[in-house]
Structures are given as C-alpha cells and as structure tokens.
Amino acid sequence: MDVFRRLRGFYLPYMRYLVLSIVMLVLTTALGLVYPYLLKQIVDRVIIGREYRLLLPYLGLILAAAVVKGAFNFGQQYLGQVFGMHAAYDLRNALYKKLNRQPFSYYDRVHTGDLMSRMTADLDAFRQFLAFGFNNLVNFVLLTSFGLALMCSLNAWLTAAILVLLPVLGWIAVRFDSLLWPAYKRVRKTLGALNTAVQENIMGMRTVKSFAREGYELGKFDGRNEAYYASNLAAADLWKRFFPYMELIGNLEVCIVLFVGGWLVIRGDMDLGDLVAFFSILWYITFPMSQLGYLLNNWTQSVAAGERLLEILEAENPITSPVASYRGKMRGRVEFRGVRLVQDGQEVLRDIDFTVEPGQTIALLGKTGAGKSSIVNLIPRFYDVTEGSVLVDGIDVRDWDLDALRRQVAVVFQESFLFSTTIFANIAYGKPDATMEEVARAARIADAAEFIEQLPDGYRTIVGERGLGLSGGQKQRIALARAILADPAILILDDATSAVDMETEYTIQQALQEVMRGRTTFVIAHRISTLKRADQILVIDGGRIVERGTHDELVRQDGLYREIFEMQFRDRDEFSDDWLRAAVNEQRGVQW
Ligand SMILES: Nc1ncnc2c1ncn2[C@@H]1O[C@H](COP(=O)(O)OP(=O)(O)OP(=O)(O)O)[C@@H](O)[C@H]1O
C-alpha cells in the first residue's frame, strides 16, 4: 500500500476516470446479479408454476440486461485504460525529468540497461495495475459482497455454510502474497541485469569483436538470461501451487451447497428456484474468486515495479539550484579556496587553491589519475566539493542558478558524445537557434569545416549513434565547435584534442587563440606544446597542486614539469627524422 501512497500524486488527478469506471462496474455487477433472480422466476413461475406466457418476457429481460451490461462493461474497461494511461504518461515524464536532473555521481552508480528496464517494463507493470487491477479489485469486492448479500436474502443458513471456507481463502491469499512479492522483485531485478548485459554488449560491440570475446559475452548473457528464466520459473512455481488450492476451495463450496441446499429443499425449507438461483450466484462469484490469483499477481508485480520506479523518483540529488540563486552574466573569474574532494571514500583532491582572472588561460598538467578532470568538474558543479569552495565571479557555485551557471560554462570532454542527428544539430546543441553562418564559423575555428563540407550532405549529414562513421578526431572537432558556438564565459577543454594529430592540434590552437580571447579557458592536455602559452600552469600530482607558474618559470625549476618536458623533448629527439614532427616544430618555432 505504501508504494501506492507514495505514487499517489500521479494517479489522484485522474481519479474521475476511475470513479466513473467504478460506477459502470457497479452497474455491470448489479446487472450480472439480475440473472439469478430471473432464473429463479423462470424456475418457480414458468417451469413449476406453468405460467409459460412469462417465458418470452423473462428471456427478453435477460437479453436486455446482457446488452446494457455489455455497454457498461466496455465503458468501465475503456475508462480504466484512460486512467492508467494518463497516470503512466505523467509518471514517465516525471521519471525522465528526474533522470535529466540527476548529477554525475548518480550515473557513476547506475546501469543504463537497468534504467531502461525501469522506464519501460516496470512502468508498464504499474500501468497495467492502474488500468485493470484497480477495477478488478473493486469488482472482486463488489461481486463478493453483492453476491453474499443476495445469497443471504435467498437463504441465510446456506450462506453461513459457504462462509466457513472464506477465512481459509483469505489465509491462502495472504500467505501467497508474502511469497510472491520477493519472487516478483527478483524477476524485475534479473530483467534489469539482462537489459544491462544487452545494452553494454551492443555499446561495446567493437571492443567485443576486436578481442574476439563474443563467446564470453554470449556466456555472460546466457547466465543472466538463465537467472531471468529461473526467477520467472520460481514465480510460476508458486502459482502452480496456488491454483489447485483455489480450485479445491471452489469445488468444496459447490459440494457444500449441493449437500446443505439439497437437504433444505428435500425438507421443504427452501424452494428449488432459490437453490438454482443460489447456485448461479455461486458460479458468478467463484469466477472472480478464481481470478484472485491473477489479481494478486497483478498487484505484487505492480508493487515490485512501483518500488523500482520510486528508487528513481526518490533518489537524492544534492546538486540543485538554491532558492535565492544567482543568475547574472558571467565574467569568468574562478577561484578555488581550500578545496578537498572525497569520492567513494577516497580523497581525490586536497588543498586546491588558485585564482584565474577573467580572460586568462589556465593549464592543468599531470599524470593520468592525478585529479585534473576532478578539478574542472567542480566548476559547472558536476560534483560538489567536500570541503572548501569554488567561486565564479566571487559567488560560490552552490549559490549560482544551476542552469545559468552551466549555460555560461562549456566543457569539451575527452570522449565526445554526438547525438544521432545532423552535424548541424550536433554543433547547435547548446544554441538551437543558431544560423548556418554561426555554425559554419564555429566549425571553421574547430578545424572541422573542411571535412564536414567534403561529406556528401555537408552539415546535414546524419551521424550514426554516438557519432559512429566519424573518426575520433572528427568527433572531437565537432564537440569543440559545439562548445565554441555556445559562446561561454568559461571554456573547459578536458583533453579535448587528444584524438587529433599534432598538425591538426596546432591548427586548432591557432584558431582557438581568437576564441579564448576574452574568455577564461581551462586546458587539460598531456602535450607541453599545447599548454606552454597558458597564463598559469598548474602541475597536479596525487590530487594536489605540486607546482605552479608559467612555462618559462616551470622549466627553470627542477620539478615534475621539467621532468615531463624533458621526457617529451627526448621523444622528439628520438624521432627527429620524422618529417612530420620536424615540419610541425618548424611551423611552431618551438624552442626546445
Ligand atoms: N566519479 C568518481 N568516483 C570515484 N572516484 C573517482 C571519480 N572520478 C575520478 N575518480 C578518481 O579520482 C582520481 C582522479 O581522477 P581524474 O579523472 O580527476 O584524473 P585525471 O588527472 O583527469 O586523469 P586523466 O588524465 O587520466 O583523465 C582517480 O584516482 C579516479 O579514480
């Protein structure tokens, strides 16, 4: 019940459909109970009383009741569906909205396949209960109570006799529900794991194939498929045990009515017509009773599914805009004050202090895993600091309106993600109203214009899922153009040119000089040649700033920067016969 209480916000606004549907259901049920009454009349008056002229009117009444009942039945099912669909529509929107608002840390933990299964299969199980389950439940209660009341009016003793088995029925139902609930939770969980395996396999198909690991992946899938199959079988096994009990109780009821009812008729304490009517009511209510199993199934599935939906809806999100948030125009001054960051219990950053003035370029250099990305991720609040603060224009990023902050900070990640749409739409992603000229200009700066124009459809070329069909360097250049077009006050290039060759990187850098003018730029790169022009270079090691200064200052110190510099210099020396490197050196006028 708790699941339904917590999800009530989604179905309460549409209760009018459910109420109308239930009204129709009551009428359908009431009309259904007219048959036993008519049957009694036919037996007592037409057959026993020999009033044959009444036969046709009674048959006419039975037919009319069937037609009206059919119409009400259609109405109640239709309205039930409308109720379920409206609620599911809102729920789907809320889930999607929530997922869009969740922070990076949430996506570090969840599995895409499992999320997809929650958004589809679990949502549908919940909708099914709203659309049919609610009505069936009400139908069950109504039919049983109406039926019992009618039976009571026919013969109280006979009704009391069949009620003896009711507590047994209730006990069995409750007992099975407690067994079914965990069984269905397992079914849902194994389905999520199965979807995760499929999704990861498809996403990573190139890696799978390149290592010829199809066999291993098939085995992994087989294992999860087996687990899903086994959990379904376990649930079916429970049902297998449940149905015979229900069948037995139904048949016992028939025996009781035959025995006690027959005895009452023989003694002359009950009319034959009443016994026939009693029987017909019993059959009428045994059907929904035998459906109790399905009802329970529907119910437990929807509770298990609802729990999984609530896990998304109620997931904590510490990264939200404060009520009195700041949403001004950004100048681009960034300050880190005593920043410490702990992730998964591990200290990733500590004692990070630095200031960048608007328009300056700051470079971060360090070994892999040193903490460079972790530093820049704090600026647009992809993560929040554990201690200390990050200020933009003197205002703590936690006091900025999240959208205003992120709209004015553009990040180009090492792995560029492209949507499966046109190159134009991919570049204009942060500025949907951009004109062709603006998009082409951003592409020119990112050194992407040339290869885009050579494609058969130019900017209208549709790139495959995740940009398949383009090279890594081409994707990076499109991502770069996307950031340039967004015209941010702060531009963060997190290893954004790692996939392009040195010559292209050089061309991009030349063009970026113009883009970087007037905006604060963070550059993370491994090649010293990329960083050396920065106003300030921070050398990161083990989550701390170990050196800082300009290129000239740092090469004079005997530290990590110089070590990296000399290493890169040695490489260059070893490959001195490489015509390309020589050409680039010459072009750059690098003084090593
Ligand atoms: N979301 C996270 N959850 C837990 N630990 C993380 C997370 N992100 C990064 N780390 C850890 O923090 C440390 C620094 O990672 P970070 O990505 O900042 O390094 P980096 O210097 O940018 O490395 P690279 O140059 O390889 O990109 C690593 O030890 C990493 O395992």
Q: Whose CA is nearest to atom 30 of ligand 1?
A: 369
pLDDT at residue number 485: 92
Q: Whose CA is nearest to atom 14 of ligand 1?
A: 371
Q: How confident is the model at residue 580 (pLDDT cuts 50, 70, 90)?
A: very low
Q: Whose CA is nearest to atom 17 of ligand 1?
A: 373
Q: Measured in Å, how far apart are the chain's first and last C-alpha atoms?
A: 73
Q: How confident is the model at residue 290 (pLDDT cuts 50, 70, 90)?
A: low
pLDDT for residue 592 is more than 50: no
- Which stretches does DSSP call E strand in 260-345? 334-343
Instruction: Match 């360090």 to its residue by tokens.
Output: 366
Give the ipTM of the model, two decimals please: 0.92
Residue 434 burial (10 A CB sphere; 0-12, 13-18, 19+): buried
Indicate whether residue 373 lines ligand 1 (CB < 6 A).
yes
Q: Whose CA is nearest to atom 31 of ligand 1?
A: 369
Q: Calculate the average pLDDT of the chain.
A: 85
Read off the pLDDT of residues 193-207 as tens digits, 9 standing for 90 and up: 898 888 888 888 878
pLDDT at residue number 583: 44
Sign, CA dihedral 458-463-469-470, equals positive
Read off the pLDDT of residues 440-484 as tens digits, 9 standing for 90 and up: 999 998 888 888 998 888 999 888 766 667 877 888 889 889 999
Domains and CATH numbers, the chain: 2-313 (1.20.1560.10), 334-588 (3.40.50.300)
Mean pLDDT on 31-41 = 82
Partners of residue 326 on adjacent β-strands:
400
Q: Whose CA is nearest to atom 4 of ligand 1?
A: 343
- How far CA 312 is from CA of 228, 580, 584, in Å, comes to 22, 52, 51
Our mutation pick for probing the ligand 1 site, out of 341, 350, 373, 545, counting the most ligand atoms within 8 A of Cβ, is 373
DSSP, residue by residue, 417-452: ---SSBHHHHHGGG-TT--HHHHHHHHHHTT-HHHH
Read off the pLDDT of residues 531-574 as tens digits, 9 standing for 90 and up: 888 899 999 999 999 999 998 899 888 888 888 888 776 655 44
Distance, in Å, from the CA atom of 264 to the CA atom of 257, rounded to the nearest integer, reads 10
And the tokens for 527? 């090649």
Q: Compute φ and ψ for 352, nearest 5 degrees.
A: -90, 115
Cβ(388)–Cβ(560) under 8 Å? no
Contacts for 128 with CB less than 8 Å, ≥ 6 apart: 84, 298, 301, 302
Indicate whether residue 341 lines ligand 1 (CB < 6 A).
no
pTM for this entry: 0.74
More confident call, 26 vs 123: 123
For residue 124, report the distance from its CA to the centre of ligand 1, in Å.
38
Mean pLDDT on 72-83 = 92
pLDDT for residue 396 is more than 90: yes
Query: Helix or strand or coil: residue 495?
Result: coil
Indicate whether residue 368 lines ligand 1 (CB < 6 A).
yes
Mean pLDDT on 123-140 = 87
Mean pLDDT on 233-239 = 88
pLDDT for residue 285 is more than 90: no
How does strand 346-356 pair with strand 334-343? antiparallel
Read off the pLDDT of residues 404-452 as tens digits, 9 standing for 90 and up: 999 999 998 878 788 888 999 999 998 889 999 999 999 998 888 888 9
Our mutation pick for probing the ligand 1 site, out of 348, 375, 379, 381, counting the most ligand atoms within 8 A of Cβ, is 348
pLDDT at residue number 582: 47
3-state helix, strand, coil in the chain (%, to 5): 70, 10, 20
Say which DSSP state 48 is in: I
More confident call, 164 vs 190: 190
